[in-house]
Amino acid sequence: MTNTNVLPADAASTRLATLDVVRGVAIIGTLATNIWVFSHPWGLLGMLTDPVLPGESPTAAATQLVLMSLAQGKFLALLSLTFGVGLAIQHRAAQRRARPWPGRYLWRAALLFLDGVINYILIAEFDVLMGYAVTAAVVSVLLLTSPRAQRAMIVVFAVIHVTVMTAVVVLLVAVPGANTPSALPSGPSPYATESFLGLAVFRLQNLEIFRAEPVLIAVLSLAMFLAGAALWRAGVFTAQGSRLRARLMIAGAVAAPIDLVLALMDFSAAVLVERYVVAPVVALGILGLVSHLCLQWGTGGWVARRASEIGRVALSAYILQNLLGGALFYGWGLGLATSAAAWRVPVAVGAFIAIWIVVAVLAHVWLRKFARGPVEWLWHVAAGVGSRDRRDTAPATPGPAGQMAD
């Protein structure tokens, strides 16, 4: 089979097909994580309090925890890695063209932050785009340092993150009652009763709760972005990177069973360690595995092409799948989170499959006629505002923050 992911070297005019596939897998994986938030009658508040609904059978509860563990934290980390790859590609292109860096890239990051604000207020309180935009802006400056300095920063950021998480876990375990979930507010859930705009107001009223995760993982995000850039420079997507990919897969394989055990323990301290310490290591393994499969089998197969298409319209796909999740589960839509609560696990799995199919079909149809996704096109137009050189606003490499748009 012809290996279709080997593209011309000019990253400014061609697309690294393997990266598209990995990005598409990451986007689909975020849906596998978020579907449990959508399907909880109390949304993210409920997931923070108790992800398993009261009255669920032991079998249903165990099934949910296993399915959650397969996605939780891993694809968020994988998306962070691909952001870092995209940043490194754009930085390399700017160097090759003797253009200032970060230069107008900071404007692109600001646009991504605006996308995140809109997504947070109108669609999903667990939006990652705002945090990614801030991280991307910081990392774009850090890329001006030497690769050796960046590798040192990865270690330092990782140590800081693990230290902070250890302190949080110790507090949860040591302080009486700290590891006990807090009670949900009295009365009906706003996710069941509020209108589309009513939920927007609800998100604005609970900024301190819903925006806590991006702050908690800020240092981790810096490490993962820089790690993605370092892995790209080390050739993780090339034939010469086979030993590197093998090491990543081994690390992921070792971390995966630990991740599952922590997930099945089902208490706050264990979930924190799983999602924010162990899951990023599993994400490295996924990156190595998907890259290995793309190099072994090529990217021309049906599954790889569908993942690649979603990866090419990543920002549009991310926003659309969140909008569809709200339409299925919230009160302003079909309200399945409440009406189908007794069948939460099969309904959530069915909804994930249905949304994935819709997003994949729309991405395929759209890309047959257009080079960019609809949100990516809007971003491209906005990125060109005030530019003297339009070519500088439309890199063929991943876009606004090195990743989510074109």
CB 244 within 8 A of CB 295: no
Q: Is 370's pLDDT higher than 70?
A: yes
Question: Which range is least confidently modeled, 56-60, 121-125, 190-194, 385-389?
Answer: 385-389
Whether residue 97 is predicted with pLDDT greater than 50 in this model: the reply is yes
* 278 or 55, greater pLDDT: 278
pLDDT exceeds cutoff 70 at 3: no
**Per-residue pLDDT, 12:** 31
Please tell me the distance from the alpha carbon of residue 280 to that of residue 77, in angstroms, as a whole number.
Answer: 5
CA of residue 364 relative to chain centroid, distance: 21
| pLDDT given at position 13 | 30
Which residue in 307, 375, 270 sits closest to 29, CA to CA? 307
Mean pLDDT of 361-370: 96
Give the global pTM.
0.90
- Which sequence spans correspond to the domains of the chain? 22-176+186-393
Higher pLDDT, 7 or 180: 180
Q: Which of 161-170, 192-201, 250-259, 375-384 has the lowest mean pLDDT?
A: 375-384
Predicted local confidence at residue 246, as pLDDT: 97
Structural tokens at position 6: 């080997």
pLDDT, residue 386, reads 57
Q: So what's the pLDDT on residue 181?
A: 63
pLDDT score recorded for residue 405: 45
Confidence at residue 384, expressed as pLDDT on a 0 to 100 scale? 77
- Give the model's pLDDT for residue 175: 80
HEC letters along the chain: CCCCCCCCCCCCCCCCHHHHHHHHHHHHHHHHHHHHHHCCCCHHHHHHHCCCCCCCCHHHHHHHHHHHHHHCCHHHHHHHHHHHHHHHHHHHHHHHCCCCCCCCHHHHHHHHHHHHHHHHHHCCCCCCHHHHHHHHHHHHHHCCCCHHHHHHHHHHHHHHHHHHHHHHHHHHHHCCCCCCCCCCCCCCCHHHHCCHHHHHHHHHHCHHHHCHHHHHCHHHHHHHHHHHHHHHHCCCCCHHHHHHHHHHHHHHHHHHHHHHHHHHHCCHHHHHHHHHHHHHHHHHHHHHHHHHHHHHHCCCCHHHHHHHHHHHCHHHHHHHHHHHHHHHHCCCCCCHHHHCHHHHHHHHHHHHHHHHHHHHHHHHHHHHHCCCCHHHHHHHHHHCCCCCCHHHHCCCCCCCCCCCCC
Highest mean pLDDT: which of 2-16, 170-184, 297-311? 297-311
* pLDDT value of position 396: 40
Write out pLDDT tens, residues 314-341.
Answer: 999 999 999 999 999 999 999 999 999 9
CB atoms < 10 A from the CB of 101, how many?
18
* Rounded-to-integer distance, Cα 388 and Cα 406, Å: 19
Q: What is the residue whose two structure tokens read 């890199």? A: 395
Rounded mean pLDDT, 333-358: 96
Q: What pLDDT score does 401 carry?
A: 45
Q: What is the rounded distance in angstroms from the CA atom of residue 226 to the CA atom of residue 339?
A: 44
Q: Tell me: pLDDT of 179 over 70.
A: no
Q: Can the peptide bond before residue 102 be classed as cis, meaning omega within 30 degrees of 0?
A: yes
